[in-house]
Amino acid sequence: MKIRSYIKGDEKEIMELDARELPSRWNRRTIENWFWKFTDRNPAGHALIWVAEHENHLVGHFAAVPYRLKVLDEELTASHTIGALVDKKFQNRGLLKFVGDKLMEDLAKNNIPYTWGFPNLRAHKFENQALGYKDLLNFDQWGIAKNTIKQTPSCPNIRKITEFDSQFDQLWQTCSPAYPVAIVRTQTYLNWRYLQRPDWEYFPFAYYENETLLGYVVLKLYREEEILRGHIVDIFARRDDENTLSHLIDHSLNFFIEKEVTEVMVWIWGNPLIETLFIQKGFTKKEIDRPLILRTNMEHKYMQEIRDNPGWYFTMGDSTEIF
């Protein structure tokens, strides 16, 4: 058994292993998605990927996708671990821990101090016990059924986005001081995340006043058999800008009415005003067992502060693995 880092061409066997061992109705992976997600098409850089190889065939893999993260007054490169998988013939032998340990060592060598995960139940237990992650927060699920959505007059200040331009850099600079910990939402990142993904269509909209950008929202449609769901995968404005956030949520609900969704669902953390607006507009909250976990890979000056979970702002779009 050989544990090694990714080399060009591994992606073919990684995709085959993934399709064989982890078939998914919800997140069918494609080779185009793999290159978008794991290579340097990502403006934060190429993913770190480690694999287990047995008799010249890959039997396990684990990856960390880099993100630019704002932590208080610093912007740094952090990462999101995804794709932990072992061929069933080699499971329960501790193989994933060997691969995971190498990945964590590599993150430290590359000066990536923090790594978060968004695991399912089985991966949650493994990553906390074997790799040293710790629970950071647990998401609430906000939802509203189509028969309780209230349509509102359309807002002329909202426009569909075909490209995130330099105004989004300015929006980030203006709004980010009020968000202690958040993924850096610059135009380069937003274009990659929502407009350059090859296998899924997102619907981004922005709110302007007097030609000045004040906020944006990104929507997604997702069908599961007879159910068509609407997701608010990202929303961003000044943290206390009730007018902008309210208009963006209203526009989202109007969009979902037009698309005849069955229900709207949102996972979000870190802005109480948005939760208040959800309640006002008829959303209900449901507790779910889906944690965000965090690992510290090396010493960093904000090691304590980053674990202050009210400081995090996290939306569905901050995970490329599921949404």
Mean pLDDT of 91-109: 94
Q: Above 90 in pLDDT, residue 310?
A: no
Of 3.90.76.10, 1.10.3720.10, 3.40.630.30, 3.40.109.10, the CATH number of 2-137 is 3.40.630.30
Mean pLDDT of 126-142: 93
Q: Which residue has the tokens 């069955």?
A: 262
Q: Above 60 in pLDDT, residue 26?
A: no
The C-alpha atoms of residue 34 and residue 47 are separated, in whole angstroms, by: 10
CB contact at 8 A, 229 and 222: yes
Task: Decide yes or no: CATH 3.30.420.40 for domain 140-288+302-318.
Answer: no
The C-alpha atoms of residue 193 and residue 181 are separated, in whole angstroms, by: 19
Q: What is the pLDDT of residue 117?
A: 93
The model's pTM is 0.95
Q: What is the pLDDT of residue 62?
A: 96
H helix or E strand, kind and range, residue 107: helix 95-109
Q: Which of 323, 306, 320 is nearest to 82 (CA)?
A: 320
For the residues of 220-250, what is the DSSP string, one character each? EEEEETTEEEEEEEEEEE-TT-HHHHHHHHH
In the chain, list all ranges with CATH 3.40.630.30. 2-137, 140-288+302-318
CB contact at 8 A, 161 and 216: yes
Q: Which of 102, 99, 104, 11 is nearest to 294 (CA)?
A: 104
Mean pLDDT of 20-43: 83
Q: What is the pLDDT of residue 321?
A: 76
The C-alpha atoms of residue 263 and residue 80 are separated, in whole angstroms, by: 29
Q: What is the pLDDT of residues 230-265, one digit of tens each?
A: 999 999 999 999 999 999 999 999 999 999 999 999
CB contact at 8 A, 33 and 27: no
Q: What is the pLDDT of residue 308?
A: 87
What is the percentage of the chain residues whose pLDDT exceeds 90? Answer: 84
* pLDDT classification of 28: cutoffs 50, 70, 90: low
Q: Above 60 in pLDDT, residue 169?
A: yes
Q: What is the pLDDT of residue 25?
A: 58
Dihedral pair phi/psi, residue 271, rounded to 5°: -140, 100
- Which residue type does 225 have? E
What is the percentage of the chain residues whose pLDDT exceeds 70? Answer: 98
Q: What is the pLDDT of residues 182-241, one digit of tens each?
A: 999 999 999 999 999 999 999 999 999 999 999 999 999 999 888 999 999 999 999 999
Q: What is the pLDDT of residue 122?
A: 80
Measured in whole angstroms, the distance separating CA 6 from the mean position of its chain's CA atoms is 23
46 to each of 49, 150, 172, 234, 320, how far by Cα in Å?
9, 44, 24, 23, 14
* pLDDT classification of 139: cutoffs 50, 70, 90: confident
Dihedral pair phi/psi, residue 190, rounded to 5°: -65, -40
Mean pLDDT of the chain: 94
**Picking from 89-98, 107-116, 188-197, 214-223, which range would have the lowest pLDDT averaged per residue?**
89-98
Q: What is the pLDDT of residue 71?
A: 97
Q: Above 90 in pLDDT, residue 115?
A: yes
* pLDDT classification of 35: cutoffs 50, 70, 90: very high
